[in-house]
Amino acid sequence: MLITVRCQEGPFEDELRSLSAWLEADRTVVRHIRVEPGSERPRLPGQQGDGIDVLSLVLGTGFNAASLATAIACWRATRNQPPTLVVERSDGTRIEIRGSNPAEAQALMSGLLTDEQSDSGS
């Protein structure tokens, strides 16, 4: 399963780098998820690539939706002003996580990921 994470405002490259490092440091998460920072903007000939504007999370078999949801909610709780995150599944279903309520962020993420696991299992 593939999901993408984008920041809607603020220093989004710094925030995505921070989230990437947070996820990669979480042994429970990194065991089943590959984090790939990247850019969705086209690279112009003769120029280096753009900075990071998206994180792709490749979720492997055996991954636990609750662990990823908790990790993202915990990361947001460490931010002075948690950025709005747009999390999108490969089928186009997306959520926006705003505000500073970790329980709400976790519920949104869990719902998105649990629905995807149910859909792919049927």
Q: Give the range among 29-33, 48-52, 56-60, 107-111 with minimum mean pLDDT.
A: 48-52
The answer as to whether 44 is a domain residue is no
* Residue 24 forms part of a structural domain: yes
Least confident range of 3-7, 50-54, 72-76: 50-54
Question: 85: closest CA among 115, 63, 106?
Answer: 106
Residue 28 lies in a domain: yes
Global pTM reads 0.82
> Quick check: is 56 in a domain?
yes
- CB distance 8 to 83 below 8 Å: yes
Token pair recorded at residue 118: 């149910």
Q: In this model, does residue 41 exceed pLDDT 70? A: no
Q: Do 83 and 91 form a contact (C-beta atoms < 8 A)?
A: no
Nearest to 32 by CA among 1, 63, 56, 4: 63
Task: Count the domains in the chain.
Answer: 1
C-alpha–C-alpha distance, residues 98 and 117, integer Å: 24
Torsion sign across C-alpha atoms 88, 84, 108, 66: positive
45 part of a folded domain: no
The C-alpha angle 77, 107, 85, rounded to 5 degrees, equals: 55
Can you give the pLDDT at residue 88?
Answer: 94
Residue 15 inside a domain? The answer is: yes
**Residue 79 reports pLDDT greater than 60:** yes
For residue 17, what pLDDT band results from cuts at 50, 70 and 90? very high
CB 55 within 8 A of CB 36: yes
The CATH number linked to 18 is: 3.30.70
Q: Is the pLDDT confidence value at 46 over 80?
A: no
Q: What is the residue range of 70's domain?
A: 2-39+51-121
